[in-house]
Amino acid sequence: MDYSFSLLLILGFVAVVLLFEGIYAYWNDTRSPEVRRVAQRLRAISAGGHAEGEATLFKERVLSHTPSVQRLLLLLPRVHHLDRLLLQAGSSGTVSHLLAASAFLALCGLVVGLVLRWPGPVILLVVVGLTVLPLLRLVWRRNKRLHQIEAQLPDAMDLIARALRAGHAFPSALAMVGDEAQDPIAGEFKITSDEIGFGISVDNALNNLASRVPSPDVRYFVMAVIIQRETGGNLAELLGKLAELVRERFKLFAKVRVLAAEGKLSAWILAGLPFCVAGAVQLLNPKYLSVLFTDAVGTKLVIGALVLMVIGIFAMWRIINIRV
């Protein structure tokens, strides 16, 4: 019997087992859902910021996982606004991911335009549109998430008020919202509760909440709690009244939105109709609109029309954007 061959098989089996064990251990320590969830919580807490002189217990939120790219992004002006936008949208990506997606889409639009031999202004318009597309999608996600938080805020304030009436402390009431409410508001209140638990003052933790969630209703809640802590009073009754006020504001906003629905539909039709007609004409008779892109006067007319349309869209948006 060849003992060397058997020993080789045993060693090969052990090597394969150890290889898979090492891969699993590396994935479990760096890429598992638990690690990602903890890392996201830490990044969210660190992005809130806190006052100087308090304990710094959380790692800083990074703009990129590559150190060289991180240093390069720090040189860009207002880059932390993009990072804050990612946080407010509930995205787990970084600024480098956002910029890479914009650059990739812009490159794809440029290549398609050059291959299909589109006119220069059309290529420029497509490239600019694809470049800002990830940013627009991020803004849409941020607005949707803020709307969900505003809708959940009255119930959260009622829960805090009931907890205070039952004898719980305010930090404990915040922790109850983080444990019993639904996301996304549960995650935000859980971060605030964790900040207080790690030594950050209640006022600074609430201010961090207001900076992470730029909503007027959340600011009202934060200001009400901070003023009550300075002047005294019945916080449970105050939060109950504030929750009722926010609910009534939402009812009024729903009525206004129904009344403004016809105006919004008209605005969408007026804004999209020229592009739809131009696209249909271009498909049916490509030479009909070619003079607008080949002649100098035609190019000026197209640019002037686009500028006037942007002004008209902005005016219609201001008319139908009714604040309550």
Do 244 and 277 lie in one domain? The reply is no
Closest CA to 39 of 60, 56, 24, 54: 60
Confirm whether 304 is domain-assigned.
yes
- Identify the pLDDT of residue 21: 62
Do 225 and 293 lie in one domain? The reply is no
Do 279 and 321 lie in one domain? The reply is yes
Between the alpha carbon of residue 42 and those of residues 49, 55, 66, 177, 190, the distances in Å are: 12, 14, 18, 19, 12
Cα angle value 269/147/83 (rounded, 5°): 100
Closest CA to 194 of 212, 174, 222: 174
Is-cis flag, bond preceding 121, omega within 30? Answer: no
pTM of the model: 0.63
Do 116 and 22 lie in one domain? The reply is no
Cα angle value 193/199/200 (rounded, 5°): 70
CA distance 191 to 48: 9
Between the alpha carbon of residue 132 and those of residues 102, 163, 180, 224, the distances in Å are: 7, 45, 38, 38
Length of the chain as a residue count = 324
- Identify the pLDDT of residue 255: 81
CA dihedral 148, 154, 155, 157 (to 10 degrees): 120
- Identify the pLDDT of residue 323: 66
CA distance 145 to 88: 8
Neighbour-count burial for 242-267, b at 16+ CB within 10 Å, e otherwise: bbeebbeebeeeeeeeeeeeeeeeeb
The whole domain housing 283 covers 260-324
Q: Which residue has the tokens 């730029």?
A: 214
Q: Which residue has the tokens 């061959």?
A: 5
Confirm whether 115 is domain-assigned.
yes
Where is the domain boundary, 219, 250, 281? 250
Averaged pLDDT in 10-residue chunks for the chain of 324 residues? 57 62 62 59 50 44 62 70 77 77 85 80 83 87 87 88 86 86 85 84 86 85 86 83 86 80 80 84 80 79 84 80 66
Confirm whether 62 is domain-assigned.
no
- Identify the pLDDT of residue 307: 87
Confirm whether 185 is domain-assigned.
yes
- Identify the pLDDT of residue 7: 58
Do 154 and 233 lie in one domain? The reply is yes
Confirm whether 322 is domain-assigned.
yes
Closest CA to 62 of 76, 48, 77, 47: 47
What separation, in Å, do the N-terminal and C-terminal C-alpha atoms of the chain show? 88
- Identify the pLDDT of residue 70: 65
Do 195 and 279 lie in one domain? The reply is no
Do 231 and 284 lie in one domain? The reply is no
Do 87 and 235 lie in one domain? The reply is yes
In the chain, the number of structural domains is 3
CA distance 313 to 271: 7
Do 133 and 274 lie in one domain? The reply is no
CA dihedral 58, 62, 67, 69 (to 10 degrees): -170
Do 179 and 321 lie in one domain? The reply is no
DSSP single-letter state for residue 232: -
Do 162 and 287 lie in one domain? The reply is no
In degrees and rounded to multiples of 5, residue 234 shows phi and psi of -90, 100
